Each structure stands twice: as C-alpha cells, then as structure tokens.
Amino acid sequence: MSESNLLSQDLQIELKFKYTPWFFILDQFLRFILLIAYLKDYFSTAAFLSIQYFILLVIILIYNSYKNKLKEKYSLYINSKYQHEDPKITIEEEIPYGLVIYQILFGFIFSFWFFYHTFESHAWYMFILIFLFSIISACVCVLPLIFTVRYRETIGIISAKAQLCKIVKDKNNENDIVYEDVSVNYPDIFVSDKLIGYGTIELDPVDLNDTRIAKLESEMKNITYRSEAWMLESVFLGGLAFSGFLTVASANFLGKEPVVFNNFILHFKSYFEKCFDNEIISWFIQIEDSFNRSDLYILIMLLCLLSSVFFLLVLILRLRLNSLSLNMDHLIRILNIFNAKEEELFNLKLENDFGEYQIRRLEKIEKKIDTALTDADNLLKELKPTSIMMNTYRTIAVFLFYIVLILSGFYFMPFVAILILFLFLFTQIFGYFQKYSKIERIRNLIKKH
C-alpha cells in the first residue's frame, strides 16, 4: 500500500471475549410466548408484527448501551504511555457459526409458514412471492442474534490486539478501510489482570518463527487427520448406504419401480395438501393415513442414494486436498530446515563468532523464512475452504444415513425409531456440553505457547 493513498489512520485495540447466548435465549423465549399468544388469536397480525419490531428496537438500544459501557470499562486498562495516540477500544463479535445457520433456517421456515397462512391465494406464482418474502424475513430474523450479543466477562479477555484502521484510496479512487496488525509494536498497550493470554511471554524475533511454524504444523496435521478420517468414513458408510439402496430396490421393487415411485409421489402430495388445509397437529396425524410400508421403503432408498452421493463428493474433494497438502508439507519441511540454520547462526552471533559472511547469510535465511511463512499462510487459506466443504458434505451424508436408521426402526414399531432418535439427541447434547464446558480451558492453555 502506497503512503500517498493513505487518507487517515487510527490506533485501535480489538478485544475478544467468550460469547454467551443467554440474552439471545431470553429474547427467543419471549418471542415464542408471543407466537403462541398470536396463534391463540390474542393478537391481530398487525399487532403481532408491531410488538416484534418494538422488541427489536428495544434490544438494539440495550445492545448499544452495553457496548458503550464495555468500551468505557476496558478503556481504563489502556497503558498510559500510549494515551497520546488516543487508541480506541473495539470488540470482536464472534457469534457461533452454528447459531447463525439455525437462526436463518428457523427464520425462513417460520416466515414461509406465516406468509402462507396470511396470503389467501395459493397459486403457483404466489409461492414464488412467499419464497422471496421468506428470504427477506429470514435476514430480519438474524438481527435479534446480532443485537443480543453478550460475553462471559468473568473468565477474562481472550485476546487484546493492537491494530491500525487505515482509510485508503483504492484503484478505483474510492475510499477503502484496511486493518493492519501492529501488536508487535505495542506489546504492552493493554494492561489488565483479566487478560487471559494466560501469562503469554514476549519472545525474541528469532523464536517467534518457531511458534508460527509449530502452529502451521498443528493446523496442517489437524486438517490431514480429519480428512483421512472422513475419507475412511466415506468409503465404508458410502458403500454401506449404496448397498442398502440396491438391497431394498432388488428385494421389493424389481420391475415395479415407476408405478411404486409414482404412488409415493401421489401419497406425498396428498399428505401436504391435507396438512396445509388443517392445523399444525395434522402434520403428525396425517402420516399414518397418507403413507404405507412401500412408501417407507422408497424413502429409505432415496435417503441411502443421497447419502452415498454426498460420501462420494467427500472422496472427490479429498483428491483436491491431497494436492494442496503435499505443497503445504513441502513448505513446512523447508521452514524447518531454514529455521534450524537460523538458530545455528543466531547462536554463533551470541558467541561473538560472527563474520560478514554469516551476517549476510543470516539476513538471507530470515527473508527466506518470512517468504515461506507468508506462502504457507496463504496456502493454509486455500486448504481451509476445501476442508470446510468436506466437513459439510460429510455432515449431510452422516445425517441422512442416521435418518435412514431412524426410519428403519419403523419397520418394527415407532418406539424403536424414537429410541434411536433419542440416542442421537443425547449424544449430540452431551458432545456440545463437553465442548463448551471444557474445550475452552484447553484452548486457553495452548494459547500460552
């Protein structure tokens, strides 16, 4: 970035806290109560929407007040020797990704149901209009999640990062905001007994490379091990899912596929028509009246096929990940070799056994390490989206496979299917409890190093 393009810059301290959803849960509980009251005809549609937007306005005001108090509280911990630079406190808002997805899906489903019952006409073009309105409303439903952000201040601040907020002119001669991390230049800008960098120690420049290389290796191994586990999972479960599809098809519908599938589509259409014409409870009552055992087999077949397709997509993405992983492994090997040489030359410098040649060589090695670290960081950014996509496909595939297991329980009796479902829910809830109760302590221990 050219200095001539720089219009202004401000020093900021970005604080990061642990997110807590208690205020969001309280907000959702209140809205759920209002929804029940609306369904019981205690409110008109206009009154219901007005109350919803009024609550949103109130939480926005509360949110702004909370953020201002938070900044005022922690501005007292700014080191006095940097006060002349007038650093500003900012908060990094890290809302859990899963919570955002949940809120968007919930907002879309609720909005679709609301507009479907509000509009009298249900012609095909009205469904397009309902769909578009539902998307807009789903975005509005995310606002309570943004403005109910609260933090677990009692456990301390996870990080305090000094950064420069620069306003620059881009290539199109338009103003652009760029953030530059300057934590190295301001190691003691934030002084707080609640800062849970947990006793982080300032290292010499020659040692900082070691920690960065170790972090790169850890992230690379994490991606590699997880992708290998997903690959094995995809091979076995994908093959099992597709064999399940073939078994059900050959045992029950051989030669009768078009007729049986058309009957399933008709039953499915009839089920939704009956549900939309009646109360919400009919969505459960109509299942037994609308479907038969053949429909259960068809549904299991479709889910098995979809599950095996997503498992296959995981294997395809693994090939892409292999290529990137090999390049990353090459860079890490280079970094380890040159880092060892840098350590050796640095030790010679400490022993005063250091000539002009060694000085030039050390400078070249340091530049080589910096370049390789930058390349490795960029390559890691390429690896992560592929890894995330693999995880997404794998999650969808496993979810579909588990639905197959639940539906298979109906082959015997509904109780078996419900038991399988509750085992799944219990395992998930226990996993989330473990994750949010213990993993944070482990992460904070790692951050010391």
Model pLDDT, residue 63: 92
Other CB atoms within 10 Å distance of the CB of residue 251 = 9
* Interacting residues of 157 by C-beta distance below 8 A, sequence separation 6+: 15, 16, 17, 74, 192, 194, 195, 196
Q: Which comes out higher in pLDDT, residue 175 or 279? A: 175
Q: Quote the CA–CA distance of 54 and 208 in Å, as a whole number.
A: 51
Q: Give Cβ neighbours of residue 307 (< 8 Å, ≥ 6 apart).
A: 237, 238, 241, 397, 398, 400, 401, 404
Dist. CA 449–CA 447, nearest whole Å: 5
pLDDT digits (tens, 9 = 90+) for 413-443: 777 778 888 887 777 776 666 565 555 555 5
- pLDDT for position 139: 87
Q: What is the mean pLDDT of residues 342-347?
A: 78
pTM: 0.53
Mean pLDDT taken over the chain: 78
Pairing of strands 6-16, 88-92: parallel
